[in-house]
Amino acid sequence: MFEYHLKAKGYELDSYNHVNNAVYLNYMEQARWEIMRDQKLLDKLQSSGKKLVVTEVHVKYIREIRLFDEIVVLTKIKKEAPYLVFQHKIKNKTNGLFAAKANVKTILLDSDNMPEDIPDDLVDLTKKK
């Protein structure tokens, strides 16, 4: 399980005074960037001209997030060839409750935007407990 910690910010609120639903996708995207960097995969991807691109997003919103709430994005990763699927849970540490659950399906594209098999070093992410 990977963890990315953040705090809800004022400019992420919408006119309902809670974090806008699109911002949850920002939170999860950053969780994936952090994982890729921490696992030393980001430089490798970028120097090869490959990129991991989102092909499907399924989010269930459970509770609203308010200004200054302390959040953790919990992430597990599964291989469903040819996809790498990120299973995110957004937990609100301020109240101890889940704010959202989501599956984000990604595919690896080479420098010509053609799909590639998920390489072993990315598959290794799925073994992280």
Residues in contact with its own copies by the rule CB under 8 A: 9-11, 13-17, 20-23, 25-26, 29-30, 33, 37, 51, 53-61, 64, 67-68
Give the shortest CB-70-to-its own copies separation in angstroms.
13
Give the shortest CB-12-to-its own copies separation in angstroms.
9
Residue closest to 78 by CA, chosen among 24, 127, 41: 127
Which residue's CB is nearer to its own copies, number 12 or number 91?
Answer: 12
DSSP 67-109: TT-EEEEEEEEEEETTEEEEEEEEEETTTTEEEEEEEEEEEEE
Which residue's CB is nearer to its own copies, number 10 or number 96?
Answer: 10
